[in-house]
Chain A
Amino acid sequence: MTAADIRITVTEKKSHEPIIMGTVMLNPIGLGVVTNMEGVAVLSNVPNGQYTLAVSYVGFQTRQIQVRVDGKDLAMKVELEEASLTLKEVSVTARQNISGASTSSVIGRQAIDHLQATSLADIMQLVPGQLMGNNDLTSASNLQLRQLVNNNTSAFGSSIVIDGVPMSNNGALQQGSFSSAAFTGTDLRQVAADDIDEVEVVRGIPSAEYGDLTSGLVVVHSKVGVTPWQFKSKINPGMMNYSLGKGENIGKMGVVNGSLDYAQAWGDPRMKTRSFHRYTATLGWGYDINSRWHTNTKVRYMQAKDWTGKDPDAIADGTYSESKNQTFSLTHNGKLQLNKLLARTVSYTIGVSLTQNDSRNASFASVSSGLLPIITATETGYYVVPFETRSYLATGITESRPGNIYAKVSDQFFFRSGKTRQSFKIGVDYHYDWNNGRGYYNGDERYPLRPNSDGRPRAFSDIPALHQLAAYAEDMFTWNINKVNRLRATAGVRFTALQPFGKVATTALSPRINASFTVTKWLDLRAGFGMNSKTPGLSYLYPDKKYNDRVSANYMPQDGSAQLLAYHTQVYEVAYSKNMKNATTTKVELGVDFKLRGGKKLSLLAYRDKTPNGFGPVTNYFTYAVNHFATVPPLDASGNYDFTRGYDRQDIIAMTTGEIGNTNTTVNRGVEADMDFGTVKMLRTSFYLSGAWQETKTWSTDLNSQSPKAALLPTAYSSIGTTPFKVIYPSGLDYSKYRRFVTTLRTVTHIPELGMVASLTAQAIWQDWHSSYQADKDPIGWIDNDLQRHDITSEMLNGYLGMDAKYYAAKPTGQSSVAIQDLLIRVSDNEPSKAPVTWNLQARLTKELGKVGGLSFYVNNALYYEPYMKGNNTSTLSQRNVGMSFGAELYLNL
C-alpha cells in the first residue's frame, strides 16, 4: 500500500464536545477537509510520507501535528483548546509565512484583538515596513504595499479577497478627466475587523490562484463556526466601535454565524467637521450537503457614510459633502471531496456584490472674477451661454452602482513520486463587472456645481460591462533530497483575458514561482519570480469625454443694451482606450532564513517590483480653430448668430485627447528583515524586530511636450493662452524617488497566570528621503498646429523657431521668434529632501477577565513626542507624530 486514509476526530478539550466545521489541513500538499457534525474529517488516499496536520477552528488554538503515513489507515483524536491568554502560546504579532510559498504575513485573531483594530486598515500596521499611526476612520484608506508614494495603479492593483471572493474595484468610475490623484483602490475601512478570523497579507509573489492585481494581496478569512455570544466595544476620543457576534449549531441544518458591527468616528473630537459611520451585518451559514460536499455561504451588508461640513458652531451656509456607500454581497464556497486521481478536491466559489455609492457635494460656485459662464454643451460647436455674476449654492451628485459577479472553480490533486511530492491546483475564474449608476449630475443643471470643462454630467450606465476570464495552474512541489536538504517550490502560471473578442480585448500571461532550498538545518535560501497583471477597470478603459470651452464673444455693454456671452465647446470623445494593456508587475525576490538556537529566527529578503506599464494619461494632440468676436457675430439668414464669418481673430487651439494608457513606470525595491529573538523566560518577554528599507521610483513614459514659456511668447499668444507650437523633450528622464528605512521593535510580555499580554512597540524612521529629479534636457522636436512633428537636431540648437512654427538658423526678421537656446531645460535644484530621524512608541495591554471577557488598552505615541522638525532644504518646521491617541476595548462573552 502506498497510500492510506487518515480519520481525525476533533473535540473540544474541556467539554469533549465534537467541533463541527473545524478545518483540517494536510501540509505541505495542501489537502483540506472540514469536520462534520460528529467532528470527524477523513483525508482519503494520502500517499505515504511525513506530513504536518494543522487543525484549526475559530476561537481555538490551532494545533500542528506531525503525521507519518506508511500505508496503514490512521485514526486520530485531536483536542482543541479555546484560545486564551492563559494558554502558553499566544500570537499577537504578524507571523511570517513558511519559505517556499509567497512572502506574506499572517495576522490572527489574537493579534487583531490586541491591536484593537476597527477595520482592515488598522491591521496593516503589523506588516513589515508599514508605519504605525493613530486610528482615523474619517479618511479613506487604500492598500499600498512596498510602495512609498500613493500611486493609482498600485492602489487600484491591490486585491482584497474576502472568503475567496475578491472585492472588485473594476466597476468604479469617475466623472471628469483622468486624475492620478483621485482615490482608487478598495477602501479598507469598509471591512470591519471584528468579524475577521485571520488575515494574510501577501507582499511577495502570490499563488497563481490569485489574479487581477499588481502588487499587494490581502486574503481575509471571516469567522465561521460555533462561537459564544461576544460583545465588543472600542472607544477612543475620536471613534467608537461596537460589535456583537454569535455562532450557533442548528443541528442538521448546519452552523450559522452572525455579527453586527457599528462604528462611528469624527477624527478630531474638538472639530466636528468630519464624521464617518459604518454599519455592518453579516450572516454566515455552513452546511454539509452530504459527507463529501461542504458548503459555506455568507451574506454581508455594509453601509458607510462619510460627511464633511461646517462646524456645528459656525454659521451654516448649506455647504457639505457626503458620501454614502452601501454594499450587499454574497459569497458561497463549496468543497467536494471527489477523491479521484485528478480530482481530489473540487472547490468552487460564487460571489455577487452590489454596491450603491452616492456622493453629494453642496458648495458655492464662486464667481470671483466676476463672470461665470454656464456651459452645458456636450457637442462640439458655438453656443450662446447663460452666465452668472454672483456666486450660487449648487449641488453635484454622483450615483455609482458598481456590481460584480465572480465565479471560480478549482481542482486540487496531488502525486507522490520517489522523494518528491507534488500538489496541483488548476482552475478558472470569471469576473463580470458593471456599473449602472446614473453617474454624475447636478441638482439643478442650470446651476451646475462645477460649471466648466470638468463638470459635465456623465451617466455611468452608458458604459459597457467588463468580462474577465482567467485560468491558472499551479504545482506545489516538495523534494526531500536527503534528511537535510529539501527543495520546495510553488510554480504556476495564470492566463487572463479581458473583454475577450471585444474592441478592448487584452490578455496577459503571468508565470510565477516561489522556491526555497534548505541548505542546512538552520539555513533556507529562497528565491521567487512572478508576474502579476491588473486589467484596466472601467474608469481606465472608458474615460470620460474631454471638454474644452473657449470664449468666442464676450460683449457686455454696460449701457443696458443687449449682452452676449458665447463659447465654443470642443468635445473629444475617446470612447474607449485603444491599445490599453494590463498593468504588469514583475516581482523578483531573494532571501535567506536562519533558524537559530532557542527558537530565534531571522529572515532577510530583498525584492524588486517593476511595473513598466502602470496607468496614466497619454498625450495626443489635436487642433481646432475658434473664432473670436470683439463685439457680436453677424446674423445668418434665419436671424441666428453666424460664428463662422466676420470674426476679429481666429485662435488655433491644441488640445489633448484625454486618452489613458500604460505610461507610468514604477520600480519598488528594498530589503525586509524579520527577526524573532525568542523568549527571555525570566522576563516572560519575547522580542521581535522587523525592518524594511524601501525605495520607490516612479516616472512617466508619456510624450514629454510643453508649450514654450509664456514669457518667451508675444502677448498675442501668451495672453490668450495659445501656442504656435509644442516643444518635445526626451521622455522618461525625470523621476520621483522615495526612500524610507523603518525599524519596528516589539516586546511582548505574556503572563499566562494573569491572562495578560502587554506589548511595547518602538518604531524609528531612520531615513525619509525624497527626490524629484529633473534632468537637463534639450528639445528634440516640435509639433506645429497642423500636428506635424519636426525634429530638432543638435546642429539646430542655436537656431530659432518662428511664430510660423518654422525653423530659422538666424533670428528671423518680420516675425517674433523663440531662440531654441531658451527652450533648453537646465535644472539647478535637484537637491533631495531628507527628513530627520523620528520615532514613535506604542503601548498595548490586554487582560482576560476569566471567562467573562477581557479588557484592552492602548496608547499610541505614548511619550507624547511630537517634535517640530525641518528637513534639509526647507526652513519650515513641521510637526511629526502629531497627537497622541489612546483607547480602550472591552469584550464580554455572554
Chain B
Amino acid sequence: MKKNILALLPTILLVACVDYQDVSHAIDAQVQLQMPAEFTQGHDYEGHDIVMTIGDKTLTAQTDANGIATFKALIPDIYGISTSWSISKAQYEQLTGHVLTANGCTVSGSLNEQLISDAQQGKPIVLPTFLAIKRDIVISKIASAGSKDQNNRNYMAGKYLELYNQADETVDASGLYIGLLDSTNPQPFTLDNLHEVYNDAYVVVKQVFQIPADKPYPVAPGGTILITNSATDHSDINATEHDLSGADFEAKDATGKTVNNPATPALLTAFSSTNANATMNLVQGGPCGVIIFRTSEDLTDWKRDYAYGKTSGMMYLMVPRELVLDGVDYLKNKATGVDISAKRLYTDIDAGYAHIEATNGYTGEVVYRRTESIATDGHKILMDTNNSLNDFKVSTTIKPREYDE
C-alpha cells in the first residue's frame, strides 16, 4: 500500500502542478476479457472485437491471445464497452465439457458508463462475459397414448403434439416441418444400420407435416403450438382427454373418420409412407418419436428407402440429420422394460428417450418437458439437455399448453 501511495504521489503532484487544460490529452486503455464461468475446460481469448461507444462514435479493438484489447489515444471520458461472439456446438462442448442441444451459443459481455481516465493508464478494465444459449422452438409435449371411452373402447382422436418457443424473442414458425419417426417393429434402420449404410447421415421418418408457409406464424417467447388430428372438445370422454378446440393446427382427415374443426388452420401433409393417411399416426404405445426441421428443398426430391437390407415393403423418407432442430425419441415400454436397442435418434439429437409407463397406451399419459427456470421476461425455460430421459416426464393430468411451475 505504501508503494502505491508513493507511486501515486508524483501523479498527485503533477495534477496539482498542471494546468487543467491538459486534462484532454489522449491516453491508452486496455480491456481484459473475462471468460464465462461455464468455460471450465479452456478459454477463447483471441480475435474478438471489443467495442467502445461514446455518443455516436464507435471504436473497435481486437483481443490478443491473452484476451486483452488495447485502445490507443483515447480521450478520457465515460464509455460503453461491449463484446459478443458466437461459438459453435462443438466449441461449446470443447470449452465446457458439456453437450449442447441448441445449435450454438452466444458469448457476450458489456460494461455501461465506464470512466476511462489517466487513472486507468496501464491497468486493464475487466470485461466479464456470459453465455447465452441460442434457444428456439422445441418439441415440448407428445400426447399419443390415447385413452378409453365410457365403454372401455379405444379413443385416439384426442392425441396431440405441442411445440414451445424457448427463445427470448418471438419466432416465426411458418414452414417448420414436423416429422414422425418410423414406428415399425422391428425398426427399419437401427442406428448401427444407419451408420453402416449412410454414415449417420439420415433420420428415418414415416410421415412429415408442415406448418403452412404462406404467411408468418409468430410464436411469442413461452408460446406454444398445439397440433392435433381433431381440434374439438374431447373432455367429456374421460378425465385425461381435453378440449383441443383451440388448437393451432389440425391435420385434416381425408377419410371422413375424424371430426375436423373448420375454424382450425390445416397442417400440410408433406410426406406419407402409407396410403390414405392424412392424419398424424401417433402410435399409442410408442414408438412415437418426433423431430422438427427446416429446409428450403423440395421434399419430393429427397431420398426414400426401404428398410435396411430390404428391397421391398414400406418406403421411408430419409431426413438429413444436420437439418434436425430438435428431436425426441419416444420408445415403447415393454413388460421387460424399454428396449433401448430400438432407439432411432442419434445421441446428439436425443441422448436418451421418453416413454410412458403403460406398455400399450390408452392411458391418457402425456410426455412433456420439465421446467428448468424462468427467464427474465417471465417465460418458462424448459429443460433441454438433449436427453429426454432427463428432460421429459409423464403425466396424466397435465393440460395442453401447460407446464410445471
Chain A min CB distance to B261 (Å): 5
Chain A min CB distance to B325 (Å): 22
Cβ contact within 8 Å between A559 and B277: no
Pick the interface stretch among B3-11, B168-176, B263-271, B379-387: B263-271
Choose among B232, B233, B275, B300 the residue that contacts A721 (Cβ–Cβ < 8 A). Answer: B275
Choose among B232, B310, B317 the residue that contacts A711 (Cβ–Cβ < 8 A). Answer: B317
Residue of A nearest to B271 (CB): A715
Cβ contact within 8 Å between A710 and B272: yes
Q: Which chain B residues lie closer than 8 Å to A827 at the CB level?
A: 311-312
Cβ contact within 8 Å between A364 and B153: yes
Cβ contact within 8 Å between A714 and B300: yes
Cβ contact within 8 Å between A555 and B262: yes
Q: Which chain B residues lie closer than 8 Å to A793 at the CB level?
A: none
Residue of B nearest to A628 (CB): B254
Quick check: is B120 within 8 A (CB to CB) of the other chain?
no
Quick check: is A393 within 8 A (CB to CB) of the other chain?
yes
Cβ contact within 8 Å between A551 and B262: no
Cβ contact within 8 Å between B311 and A371: no
Report which residue of B255, B263, B278 has the largest number of chain A beta carbons within 10 angstroms of its beta carbon: B255
Q: Which chain B residues lie closer than 8 Å to A371 at the CB level?
A: 157, 230, 253, 256-259
- Knowing A390-B150, A391-B151, say if A368 contacts B156 (CB, 8 Å): yes
Chain B min CB distance to A333 (Å): 54
Q: Which chain A residues lie closer than 8 Å to B278 at the CB level?
A: 715, 719-720
Quick check: is A826 within 8 A (CB to CB) of the other chain?
yes
Quick check: is B149 within 8 A (CB to CB) of the other chain?
yes
Residue of A nearest to B237 (CB): A390
Q: Which chain A residues lie closer than 8 Å to B89 at the CB level?
A: none
Quick check: is A17 within 8 A (CB to CB) of the other chain?
no
Residue of B nearest to A723 (CB): B275
Chain A min CB distance to B84 (Å): 43
Complex alpha-carbon distance, A419 and B45, angstroms: 119
Q: Which chain A residues lie closer than 8 Å to B230 at the CB level?
A: 369-371
Cβ contact within 8 Å between B304 and A712: yes
Residue of B nearest to A826 (CB): B311
Residue of B nearest to A817 (CB): B300
Complex alpha-carbon distance, A718 and B254, angstroms: 10
Cβ contact within 8 Å between A369 and B253: yes
Interface residues of A in 403-420 (CB under 8 A from B): none
Cβ contact within 8 Å between B232 and A370: yes
Quick check: is B112 within 8 A (CB to CB) of the other chain?
no
Choose among A370, A393, A710, A826 the residue that contacts B273 (Cβ–Cβ < 8 A). Answer: A710
Chain A min CB distance to B284 (Å): 9
- Knowing A551-B254, A558-B232, A720-B278, say if A366 contacts B312 (CB, 8 Å): no
Quick check: is B41 within 8 A (CB to CB) of the other chain?
no
Quick check: is A754 within 8 A (CB to CB) of the other chain?
no
Cβ contact within 8 Å between B269 and A715: yes
Chain B min CB distance to A370 (Å): 3
Quick check: is A736 within 8 A (CB to CB) of the other chain?
no
Q: Which chain B residues lie closer than 8 Å to A369 at the CB level?
A: 156-157, 229-230, 253, 257-258, 279
**Interface size in chain B (residues, C-beta < 8 A):** 51
- Knowing A317-B152, A367-B155, say if A372 contacts B257 (CB, 8 Å): yes
Complex alpha-carbon distance, A390 and B150, angstroms: 8
Cβ contact within 8 Å between B275 and A556: no
Q: Which chain B residues lie closer than 8 Å to A556 at the CB level?
A: 232, 259-262
Residue of B nearest to A555 (CB): B262
Quick check: is A795 within 8 A (CB to CB) of the other chain?
no
Q: Which chain B residues lie closer than 8 Å to A774 at the CB level?
A: 312
Choose among B150, B231, B253, B316 the residue that contacts A554 (Cβ–Cβ < 8 A). Answer: B253
Q: Which chain B residues lie closer than 8 Å to A712 at the CB level?
A: 304, 315
Residue of A nearest to B206 (CB): A711
Quick check: is B154 within 8 A (CB to CB) of the other chain?
yes
Quick check: is B55 within 8 A (CB to CB) of the other chain?
no
Complex alpha-carbon distance, A781 and B267, angstroms: 36
Complex alpha-carbon distance, A709 and B304, angstroms: 11
A546-577 toward B: CB 8 Å interface, digit per residue (1/0)? 00001100111111000001010000000000
Choose among A368, A551, A555, A828 the residue that contacts B310 (Cβ–Cβ < 8 A). Answer: A828
Interface residues of B in 8-27 (CB under 8 A from A): none
Chain A min CB distance to B101 (Å): 30
Choose among B152, B157, B256 the residue that contacts A373 (Cβ–Cβ < 8 A). Answer: B256
Quick check: is B193 within 8 A (CB to CB) of the other chain?
no
Cβ contact within 8 Å between B272 and A558: no
- Knowing A371-B256, A373-B256, A554-B256, say if A715 contacts B272 (CB, 8 Å): yes
Complex alpha-carbon distance, A557 and B311, angstroms: 45
Quick check: is B245 within 8 A (CB to CB) of the other chain?
yes
Complex alpha-carbon distance, A557 and B232, angstroms: 9
Interface residues of B in 97-153 (CB under 8 A from A): 146, 149-153
- Knowing A366-B154, A390-B149, A555-B262, say if A709 contacts B254 (CB, 8 Å): no
Q: Which chain A residues lie closer than 8 Å to B262 at the CB level?
A: 555-557, 631
Chain B min CB distance to A736 (Å): 16
Quick check: is A829 within 8 A (CB to CB) of the other chain?
yes
Quick check: is A96 within 8 A (CB to CB) of the other chain?
no
Complex alpha-carbon distance, A449 and B154, angstroms: 16
Residue of B nearest to A318 (CB): B151
Q: Which chain B residues lie closer than 8 Å to A707 at the CB level?
A: 275
Complex alpha-carbon distance, A550 and B253, angstroms: 12
Complex alpha-carbon distance, A857 and B276, angstroms: 58
Cβ contact within 8 Å between A558 and B256: no
Quick check: is A389 within 8 A (CB to CB) of the other chain?
yes
- Knowing A828-B311, A829-B310, say if A554 contacts B260 (CB, 8 Å): yes
Quick check: is A392 within 8 A (CB to CB) of the other chain?
yes
Q: Which chain B residues lie closer than 8 Å to A711 at the CB level?
A: 271-273, 304, 314-317
Quick check: is A894 within 8 A (CB to CB) of the other chain?
no
Q: Which chain A residues lie closer than 8 Å to B257 at the CB level?
A: 369-373, 551
Cβ contact within 8 Å between A718 and B275: yes
Complex alpha-carbon distance, A559 and B232, angstroms: 10
Quick check: is B309 within 8 A (CB to CB) of the other chain?
yes
A363-389 toward B: CB 8 Å interface, digit per residue (1/0)? 010111111110000000000000001
Cβ contact within 8 Å between A558 and B311: no
Cβ contact within 8 Å between A719 and B269: yes
Q: Which chain A residues lie closer than 8 Å to B397 at the CB level?
A: none
Complex alpha-carbon distance, A369 and B253, angstroms: 10
A714-728 toward B: CB 8 Å interface, digit per residue (1/0)? 110011110000000
Q: Which chain B residues lie closer than 8 Å to A303 at the CB level?
A: none
Chain B min CB distance to A732 (Å): 18
Cβ contact within 8 Å between B261 and A557: yes
Q: Which chain B residues lie closer than 8 Å to A393 at the CB level?
A: 151
Q: Which chain A residues lie closer than 8 Å to B269 at the CB level?
A: 715, 719
A818-861 toward B: CB 8 Å interface, digit per residue (1/0)? 00001001111100000000000000000000000000000000
Quick check: is A816 within 8 A (CB to CB) of the other chain?
yes
Chain B min CB distance to A771 (Å): 15
Residue of A nearest to B232 (CB): A558
Quick check: is B40 within 8 A (CB to CB) of the other chain?
no
Complex alpha-carbon distance, A825 and B158, angstroms: 38
Cβ contact within 8 Å between A551 and B255: yes
Q: Which chain A residues lie closer than 8 Å to B155 at the CB level?
A: 367-368, 370
Cβ contact within 8 Å between B277 and A558: no
- Knowing A712-B304, A721-B275, A828-B310, say if A370 contacts B157 (CB, 8 Å): yes
Complex alpha-carbon distance, A556 and B310, angstroms: 43
Quick check: is B88 within 8 A (CB to CB) of the other chain?
no
Excluding A711-B317, A826-B311, 4 further A-B contacts by CB distance (< 8 Å) are: A368-B155, A370-B155, A712-B315, A816-B300
A-binding residues in B (CB < 8 A): 146, 149-158, 229-234, 237, 245, 253-263, 269-279, 300, 304, 309-312, 314-317
What are 26 pairs between A and B in contact, CB < 8 Å? Answer: A364-B151, A367-B155, A369-B156, A370-B155, A370-B158, A371-B256, A391-B150, A550-B255, A554-B256, A558-B233, A631-B262, A709-B314, A710-B273, A711-B271, A711-B272, A715-B272, A718-B275, A719-B269, A719-B272, A720-B254, A720-B278, A721-B275, A816-B300, A826-B312, A827-B312, A828-B310
Closest 8 interchain pairs by CB? A551-B256, A721-B276, A370-B157, A711-B315, A826-B311, A719-B278, A391-B153, A366-B153
